[in-house]
Chains A and B, each alone.
Chain A
Amino acid sequence: MVDAEALTAWVREFARLVHEQRDELTRLDSAIGDADHGANLDRGMTAAVAALDAQSAAGPAAVLKTTATTLIKTVGGASGPLYGTFFLRAAGALDGVPDPTDPAALARAVRAGLDGVVARGKAERGDKTMLDALGPACDALDEALAAGKPLDEALGAAAQAAADGRDATEPLVARKGRASYLGERSAGHVDPGAASATLLVQAAATALAGRG
């Protein structure tokens, strides 16, 4: 059952991974961006966990909404509105659903979040962005659930697809964001947004294990 407690555990695990990988995310961003991705996202996720700690018992949609508004408020850079929109749209997809704790509802929420990132960033897959990890992860999750696989296995497949997508950004030329100013010189580096999005999916696989 993917209830509010499970979603809180997901946000917490994402925050932990971002904090742990903060320097690596910044190193990736210093190669093709403005070297603030690790610090910005760490600040935002630390604030999100604090906001969830301060919030009294709330439903699944409220957990994601609080995470969204905190990220929007505290990140500062482009990852604020992008991750903020991801969680905001995901929260909207859970709102009013008869059983928001059903794994299928989680999959629909994540898909709605992905669509939000696409609408906000106007990027396509292959542009060397977070979409290159998040898109394949959503596809893998949907396919596995549609094939009747348990949630653990489906999230494991999603995490693997995200990591593969992240690694595949290395030779790409960036077409969105600050990295796009570098043109051909952006090739040869893994995209920091794809790297952090992979952490988001890995966090789901870890925190939601056994909740299906």
Chain B
Amino acid sequence: MKREKDFKFILVDILLIIGIILPIVCGMVLDVLTSPAVDGVNITGARIYFTINMPIQDFPITEAQINSAIVVISLLFLCLFLTHGIKEKPDSIRQHIAEYIVEKTDSLVHDNMGRYFMSFAPFIAAIMGISLLSSLLSLVGLFPPTSDINIIAGWSILVFFIITHYKMKCGPLYYLKGLTEPIVLLTPLNILGEVSTPISMAFRHYGNVLSGSVISVLITAALQGLSQKLLGWIPGTLGQFPLLQIGLPAVLSIYFDVFSSCLQAFIFAMLTMLNISTAFPQEDYLARQRRKAEKRRIRNAGKMISTN
């Protein structure tokens, strides 16, 4: 009986691992099948796979969108895998890993946003995970979705809406009054400051990832030229083979891909937390709640008197 259960458990495990790996493999196959043959420096944006015809504007499906969907599916199966078969008393490594991630995110949110925003922990963890996996996708040779401005602009517009929502917690009039805060003359600058938050968040992440990939491509091309200059006198295919390209770009990739990706994911999540928590006027909100409660009490008391 127990054995059969174990067999089922292992089967589900294997299916989940396949669910993690299969989207990435599909993406790689798609990339290999559709990539045009070029040599040397090739820096382009995301390739367009196909275009859906729409009434107002055509809707291109690009590599970045497909790859971010791949990241989302992989992350979903990774979460399912980590939380598969969790017990009250953890006895497996994966449950320790899952609990470590949850505890770290909780403490990060608690330290940076305060107790009121504890429900934001899953959102922050999701942003961090998607950003990290998207940037790390360049390690398997796929186009990282974070080096396309459209993807990150989507995230930062989402964050912008959350920020504005929390600024409007005390009512839209309070928000509009806050725009004219020191003096009325500064209103255009304040509006500019509002709009520049998502733009700066998007460009920071995008610029870092893009610069890393551009520098990697340039250095790879330069090494090819250098190896042809140095070793071109060797007859046969050995002279044409770019020997210097072996190994050296990998060392750079440790900084540009691994370290920079982790840092940018952390910074994006950190800025999201700080922006949201500073946008919320907590004391004014509490005062307003208290005022409202008082008004309601007075009105209720008046009703009671009138009915009596």
Q: Do A and B truly interact?
A: no
